[in-house]
């Protein structure tokens, strides 16, 4: 494999992220479409994912047959692994739209080569998250009662309930994210269509590309559409996890009833999403030989964003403790003491170590530019962010106002299998995606590659 010299460290806060080893449009088409060829390693990873998914599906079937009592619920802890994992996957789903929409509006150049991966991750993560409320309700065949549609039950959903807000927020987010992913893919599918030699695949790609021809009017409407979709998606990202946080903050339970929850959840979601982006993009750049597209500079810039969001999340953790102390409310104070030094100390310290302490290593430029460390750190972040949701949900429910109610919680094999199955489901879709459609945006990479010119200094002074 060819090695490529890293460019001089650019100003990565601006759009000045160059791809010095990418010379022309032909190279972009050739190298990115080469990633679509299935390999043995990919097949093995897909088989493992499908096996994990089937394990989760079997556990869910068992639960549906024998009842929700097979999950580890222990009154009053009636929210457990399913709601924790729901919030975890919704959070993962946030980085995609953050990277594709917010960084697009900020003109952050390091977004270009990682956003497709992050967008696909978003769609599959929200698809995974959406399963968990359905699993959690125990009678999954009645989930559609949350959706307002004309019916003869003489009752509509209560629009004052955060659970109904969730339905609207998550379904809007899934629809808009999937649309954003698909429309961004249209020009790239057209590239694949015109390179394809297999007539059946060519036909399929022709349908999927909707007859896109790369004409100037198409691009003109496309770029405006992309801008407005990004402008819509940005507040949507912030709203969705705020709404998820309302599931907790609207209740009077100690540890939940806090106005800090919406920004705290949004920052946590973005942090966990960036963690998952690292978990995915670092192996992809290595195994797909895309190190000269997703350069060390891109990883360095994304690591800075990771560090920033980690510090926001850390700040939120500390403010929670301060508010509990300052409120003078004994239930809040007792709850927070129990969280860190009592019954749940081990979970809280996993959270604090993985989310606050380990990411401080990213102050070191050497570590920010070390993909191996970023990958290891990303695993800790995923673990820490799952435990963050555990720490929010379980200690609150197990330690409410009345001491006689205090309880504990241990997930059962059914919960754990469904949790593992959710990773299988997510990675199964992701692995199928990366061998069908380009994981790096061809058209957007072409925008930053210098076009061929007949004169040395461009056209008419326009740049």
Binding site residues, another protein, CB under 8 A: 24-26, 29, 148, 154-156, 158-160, 164-165, 168-169, 172, 175-176, 179-180, 183, 186-187, 190-191, 193-195, 210-225, 228-229, 232-233, 235-236, 239, 243, 443-444, 446-447, 451-455, 458-460, 462-463
Min separation Cβ 211 and another protein, Å: 3
Q: Are 346 and 393 in contact (CB under 8 A)?
A: no
For another protein, give the closer residue by CB, 243 or 307. Answer: 243
CA distances from 426 to 56, 89, 93, 278 (A): 12, 9, 11, 16
Does a cis peptide bond (omega within 30 degrees of 0) precede residue 76?
Answer: yes
Q: Closest by alpha carbon to 125, among 88, 98, 162?
A: 88
Q: Closest by alpha carbon to 379, among 349, 402, 356, 355?
A: 355
For another protein, give the closer residue by CB, 191 or 354. Answer: 191
Q: Give kind and range of the element (H or E) at residue 262.
A: helix 261-287
- Whole-angstrom distance, CA of residue 63 vs CA of residue 164: 25
For another protein, give the closer residue by CB, 388 or 444. Answer: 444
Two structure tokens written together for 259 = 């106005």
The alpha carbon torsion through 437, 441, 445, 446 (nearest 10 deg) reads: 60
Q: Are 24 and 446 in contact (CB under 8 A)?
A: no
Min separation Cβ 273 and another protein, Å: 19
Min separation Cβ 452 and another protein, Å: 5
Q: Are 306 and 268 in contact (CB under 8 A)?
A: no
Min separation Cβ 438 and another protein, Å: 13
2 in helix, strand or coil? Answer: coil
Sign of the CA dihedral 4, 8, 112, 374? positive
For another protein, give the closer residue by CB, 194 or 334. Answer: 194
> How many CA atoms does the CB half-sphere of 246 hold within 13 Å?
15
β-pair partners for 12:
none
Please provide the size of the chain in residues: 463
β-pair partners for 278:
none
For another protein, give the closer residue by CB, 31 or 444. Answer: 444
For another protein, give the closer residue by CB, 133 or 254. Answer: 133
For another protein, give the closer residue by CB, 186 or 376. Answer: 186
Min separation Cβ 223 and another protein, Å: 5
Two structure tokens written together for 267 = 């920052």
- 210 dihedral zone (left: phi>0; alpha: psi -120 to 50; beta): left
Q: Are 104 and 231 in contact (CB under 8 A)?
A: no
For another protein, give the closer residue by CB, 141 or 159. Answer: 159
Min separation Cβ 309 and another protein, Å: 23
For another protein, give the closer residue by CB, 106 or 156. Answer: 156
- Whole-angstrom distance, CA of residue 257 vs CA of residue 247: 10
For another protein, give the closer residue by CB, 160 or 366. Answer: 160
């Amino acid at each position: 494999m060819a090695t490529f010299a890293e460019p001089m460290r650019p100003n990565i806060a601006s759009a000045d992220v160059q791809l010095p080893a990418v010379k022309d449009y032909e190279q972009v088409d050739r190298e990115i479409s080469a990633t679509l060829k299935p390999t043995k390693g990919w097949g093995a990873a897909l088989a493992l994912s499908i096996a994990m998914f089937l394990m989760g599906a079997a556990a869910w079937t068992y639960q549906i047959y024998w009842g929700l009592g097979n999950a580890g619920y222990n009154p009053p802890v009636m929210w457990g692994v399913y709601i924790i994992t729901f919030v975890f996957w919704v959070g993962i789903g946030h980085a995609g739209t953050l990277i594709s929409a917010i960084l697009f509006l900020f003109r952050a150049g390091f977004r270009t080569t990682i956003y497709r991966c992050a967008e696909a991750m978003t769609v599959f993560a929200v698809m995974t998250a959406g399963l968990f409320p359905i699993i959690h309700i125990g009678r999954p065949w009645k989930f559609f009662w949350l959706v307002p549609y004309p019916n003869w039950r003489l009752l509509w959903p209560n629009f004052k309930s955060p659970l109904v807000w969730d339905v609207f927020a998550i379904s809007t987010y899934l629809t808009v994210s999937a649309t954003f992913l698909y429309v961004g893919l249209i020009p790239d599918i057209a590239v694949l269509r015109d390179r394809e030699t297999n007539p059946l695949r060519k036909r399929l790609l022709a349908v999927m590309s909707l007859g896109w021809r790369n004409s100037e009017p198409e691009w003109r409407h496309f770029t405006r559409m992309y801008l407005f979709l990004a402008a819509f998606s940005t507040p949507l990202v912030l709203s969705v996890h705020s709404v998820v946080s309302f599931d907790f903050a609207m209740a009077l339970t100690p540890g939940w009833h806090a106005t800090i929850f919406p920004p705290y959840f949004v920052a946590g979601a973005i942090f966990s999403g960036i963690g998952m982006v690292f978990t995915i993009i670092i192996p992809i750049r290595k195994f797909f030989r895309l190190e000269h597209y997703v350069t060390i500079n891109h990883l360095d810039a994304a690591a800075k964003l990771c560090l920033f969001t980690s510090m926001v999340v850390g700040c939120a953790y500390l403010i929670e403790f301060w508010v509990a102390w300052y409120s003078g409310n004994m239930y809040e104070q007792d709850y927070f003491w129990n969280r860190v030094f009592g019954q749940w100390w081990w979970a809280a310290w996993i959270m604090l170590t993985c989310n606050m302490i380990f990411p401080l290593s990213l102050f070191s430029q050497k570590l920010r530019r070390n993909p191996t460390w970023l990958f290891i750190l990303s695993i800790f972040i995923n673990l820490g962010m799952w435990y963050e949701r555990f720490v929010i949900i379980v200690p609150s429910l197990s330690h409410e106002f009345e001491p006689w109610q205090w309880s504990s919680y241990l997930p059962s094999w059914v919960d754990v299998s469904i949790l593992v199955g959710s990773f299988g489901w997510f990675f199964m879709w992701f692995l199928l995606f990366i061998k069908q459609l380009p994981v790096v945006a061809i058209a957007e990479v072409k925008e930053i590659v210098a076009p061929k010119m007949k004169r040395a200094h461009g056209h008419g002074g326009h740049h």
